[in-house]
Amino acid sequence: MPSCSFIGPAIFDGTTLYHGAALNITAGRVTSIGPPVTEPVRLPAGILAPGFIDLQVNGAGGLAVDGNATPETLGLICAAQSRLGATGCLPTLITDTAEATAAVIAAGIAAARNNTPGFLGLHLEGPHLDPRRKGAHDPALIRPMTENDLQTLIHAAENLPALMVTVAPESTTADQIAALRAAGAVVSLGHSDCTAQTALAAGADCVTHLFNAMSQLGNREPGLVGAALSSDLYAGLIADGIHVDPVTLRIALAAKPDRVFLVSDCMGLAGTDLAEMTLGGRRILRQNGKLTLADGTLAGADLTIPRALQVLTQIGIPPERALAMATTIPATLIGRADLGQLRPGARADMVHLSPDYTLTQVWRAGLPVTSFQGTARDDGGTGGKGNEPRL
């Protein structure tokens, strides 16, 4: 692949916004931000940023992560996510049977061995949760972690590029959490009614979808929310303005100046115009910008990362911080310092956003993935027309 230079938009390298500079790429990797090194490709105004890293993706493109998932299913979900700007993601299985969990892990390990584009590992959200905070999870499948479960998860952590596991302290022990972390898993607390003291003593890395399905911040008991906001725990955030009120978003981000990252928590409806789907035998309905079960319980989010960026910037969050929440922070959490940035040596996975944060173009390793002029598609990294950059 020849060298190319992109100019026109501001360039976000993962930390800083640069204006009036070019992003220079050779062989699919960033070489510099500065003067163009070749005849530049001029992009429209907006921001050129690293490809987004989404650590909570329940599905996309009409496909769900479930016990029937195959390596091909995971690949199609990752391809659909790339068209939404997430050039790397963790396909996410919510609470299910031990057999379904094992099947998804096997599919994930095979997807990793196949070097599936965009596949960064798995997120297993449950089944070791607190049924009092079940949310849209099936309470009949929630259960404490056994030794067999632990060994299955350790095997997954040792054989996947990354494994995130959401658990509740009520259904796990500190020793189990320590064993998972020792095997390389990122352990996140969620769907829990625990106290702040219990949460902080659990030894976890992260909190899953902050504020949702967890004990809230109170005047005498800070709950899991208080533990997240007052500690160095990472915290995922669904910034759709529905799961968390914009006022609460501002308060949380003022209280916790770093380690908060964006997740879409999207379902298989993402990237489609479908009005509903079935997951685990239950209907998920799409209406008024949200996804719900038939009883109105929120069931994931009808959200993309660009939309979350719009929500954050509209409530006054600086662009650099909002963009870091979608790139460098989640990449750092899963140990991928090579992703979520556009610094020299980094892979040129990137997105172009218009001034209002509408996604207009995606590249993987410097080659176009999607054209948003007409029907979106994944061109398998070739752009459909050789190696020439295009819009």
Task: Write the CATH number for 42.
Answer: 2.30.40.10
What pLDDT does residue 390 have?
29
pLDDT average, residue stretch 33-57: 97
d(CA 265, CA 243): 11
Pair 376, 83: CB distance under 8 Å? yes
Q: Are residues 169 and 26 in the same domain?
A: no
Q: Are residues 172 and 236 in the same domain?
A: yes
Contacts of 171 (CB under 8 A, 6+ apart): 128, 129, 130, 142, 143, 144, 145
Q: Are residues 38 and 117 in the same domain?
A: no
Contacts of 302 (CB under 8 A, 6+ apart): 240, 266, 267, 269, 270, 286, 289, 290, 291
The answer to the question of residue 162 being in a domain is: yes
Q: Are residues 322 and 365 in the same domain?
A: no
Summarised one tens digit per residue, pLDDT across range 282-330 is 899 999 899 999 999 999 999 999 999 999 999 999 999 999 999 999 9
pLDDT average, residue stretch 7-30: 97
Q: In terms of pLDDT, which residue wins out, 86 or 378? A: 86
Q: What is the CATH number of the domain that holds 108?
A: 3.20.20.140
Q: Are residues 37 and 171 in the same domain?
A: no
Contacts of 377 (CB under 8 A, 6+ apart): 83, 370, 371
What pLDDT does residue 381 have?
33
Looking at 311, 333, 355, the residue that finishes a domain is 333
For residue 30, the SS3 value is strand
Summarised one tens digit per residue, pLDDT across range 102-139 is 999 999 999 999 999 999 999 999 999 999 999 999 99
The answer to the question of residue 389 being in a domain is: no
d(CA 188, CA 1): 40
Angle at CA of residue 136, ends 132 and 142, nearest 5°: 55
Q: Are residues 191 and 252 in the same domain?
A: yes
- Minimal CA–CA distance to 171: which of 128, 142, 215? 128
Looking at 333, 351, 384, the residue that finishes a domain is 333
Tell me the three-class secondary structure of 44-81, residue by residue. Answer: CCCEEEECEEEEEECEECCEECCCCCCHHHHHHHHHHH
Total domains present in the chain: 2
Q: What is the DSSP annotation of 163-232?
A: EEEEE-GGGS-HHHHHHHHHTTPEEEE-SB---HHHHHHS--SEESSTTTTBPPP-SS--HHHHHHHTSS
pLDDT average, residue stretch 218-240: 98
- Please state, in angstroms and as integers, the Cα–Cα distance from residue 324 to each residue in 8, 16, 305, 356, following that order: 21, 9, 12, 17
Q: Are residues 159 and 35 in the same domain?
A: no
Pair 233, 252: CB distance under 8 Å? no
DSSP label of 236: E
Q: Are residues 137 and 196 in the same domain?
A: yes
Q: Are residues 42 and 71 in the same domain?
A: no
Residues pairing with 93 in the sheet: 124
Q: Are residues 102 and 220 in the same domain?
A: yes
- Minimal CA–CA distance to 305: which of 269, 359, 366? 359
- Please state whether beta strands 282-287 and 290-292 pair in parallel, antiparallel, or not at all (unpaired): antiparallel
The answer to the question of residue 267 being in a domain is: yes
The answer to the question of residue 167 being in a domain is: yes
- Please state, in angstroms and as integers, the Cα–Cα distance from residue 69 to each residue in 13, 76, 81, 110, 256, following that order: 35, 11, 16, 11, 36
What tokens does 371 get?
Answer: 């054209």
Q: 101 is in which domain, residue-wise?
A: 52-333
Residues pairing with 186 in the sheet: 164
What pLDDT does residue 373 have?
38
DSSP label of 127: S
The answer to the question of residue 385 being in a domain is: no
The answer to the question of residue 78 being in a domain is: yes
What pLDDT does residue 1 have?
63
Summarised one tens digit per residue, pLDDT across range 245-291 is 999 999 999 999 999 999 999 999 999 999 999 887 889 999 989 99
The answer to the question of residue 27 being in a domain is: yes
Q: What percent of the chain has pLDDT over 90?
A: 92
pLDDT average, residue stretch 333-358: 97
**Is residue 175 among the annotated active site residues?**
no
The answer to the question of residue 363 being in a domain is: yes
One of 54, 66, 193, 265 is an active-site residue; which one?
A: 265
Letter for the amino acid at 196? A
Q: Is the model's pLDDT at 388 over the cut of 50?
A: no
pLDDT average, residue stretch 346-361: 97
Pair 65, 58: CB distance under 8 Å? yes
Q: Are residues 115 and 172 in the same domain?
A: yes
Q: Are residues 132 and 169 in the same domain?
A: yes
Q: Is the model's pLDDT at 383 over the cut of 60?
A: no
